[in-house]
Chains A and B, each alone.
Chain A
């Protein structure tokens, strides 16, 4: 398996622009997580899905952030409009509830977002 795939790996955009981050989880995993990592706040869970349904979005900072999972192999995190304080590394992770690696979250390589 190729692991969790994220795109783009780097994104530089201007304040006010819309940003869309993409994630493809590991095939067969039924949980998908979006995290944000900054120096100031560390690793924060933004939202997670189970079987494509959002379960907990309490970490989403504000209405400018939205996430969707239209099918089991694809999710997006959108920021509109973007602000400089959104600059961070955004990680996607996936996991499954069954099997020997249950509860273990597999992380993607991350998207480094810079908003100028």
Chain B
């Protein structure tokens, strides 16, 4: 079955630390990849997405992600986190041509001031 794995369930970092959150998927075929963020008490918002082209994509708020096809991975990175990045982060995948998104279980990120 198709699935999305986020192995980090809860990550705690100090401000200014670098961040990398893992995301792996098990899909055959061409995929579209997304990272969404959910700030406390709010709805999900898109951070960035990858459809094709340059495998390194840049999103809002200084986030970026790299698509490594051979590893079926789409890890999220940020060089220096801020307290305001405290949130839950979801990786999501769909097959090209299919609107249905499959979400990972999410990673809760806590930034300590």
| Chain A contacts to B: CB under 8 angstroms | 31, 33, 42-43, 45, 48, 50, 55-56, 91, 93, 95, 97, 103-110
Contacts and interface: CB of A to CB of B under 8 A. Distances in A.
Contacts of B99: 31, 33, 48, 50, 55, 95, 97, 103
Contact of A43 (B42, B45, B46, B106): B106
Contacts of B103: 42-43, 45
B16 interface: no
Contact of B94 (A42, A91, A103, A109): A103
B73 interface: no
A104 B43 contact: no
Interface string B76-113: 00000000000000100010000111111110000000
A104 B90 contact: no
Contacts of B36: 107
Interface string B32-63: 10101000001111100101000000000000
